[in-house]
Amino acid sequence: MSLKDQLSQLVYSTDAGRIDPAPAEPERGPSDGIVRIQRETKGRKGKGVTIIRGLALTPEELKQVAKQLKKHCGVGGSVKGFDIEIQGDQRDTCKAWLERQGHHVKLAGG
């Protein structure tokens, strides 16, 4: 193999700059078509929160839904992973609001 052949086997080049992989489709939360709402107090020093699971939305869409739910309930909350946490026992209020948005909702837990 000649020197010219060895040089033509380019391994790395800075001519094109950083080549980013193709943007992936935004990840959506796991869902079976049913949104589940439950109340949880474990690990919260007795303070209850309403947890909403099963919304097949991207993280950005989840933040928008959480913002609207917090405003509707008049309380605080947050998005953790693919779950929405609303402060206090807001199960009935959240269920009614989500059903008006067209989701199939079930109350989970005790």
Is 61 within a domain? yes
Is 39 within a domain? yes
Nearest-angstrom CA–CA distance, 27 and 67: 20
Q: What was the pLDDT predicted at 30?
A: 73
Is 51 within a domain? yes
Is 34 within a domain? yes
Is 16 within a domain? no
Domain residues for the domain of 69 are 23-107
Tens place of pLDDT for every residue, the chain, 110 residues? 566 555 556 566 666 666 666 667 667 777 788 999 999 988 888 889 999 999 988 889 999 999 999 999 999 999 998 999 999 999 999 999 999 999 999 999 86
Q: Which of 40, 90, 38 lies closest to 69 in space, CA to CA?
A: 90
Is 2 within a domain? no
CATH number, domain containing residue 43: 3.30.780.10
Residue type (1 letter), 41: T
Nearest-angstrom CA–CA distance, 14 and 29: 38
pLDDT tens digit sequence for 60-71: 999 999 999 999
Q: What was the pLDDT predicted at 27?
A: 78
Q: What was the pLDDT predicted at 19?
A: 61
Q: End-to-end alpha-carbon separation of the chain, Å?
A: 75
Residue type (1 letter), 69: L
Q: Could you give the number of structural domains in the chain?
A: 1
pTM beyond 0.75: no
Is 31 within a domain? yes
Is 79 within a domain? yes
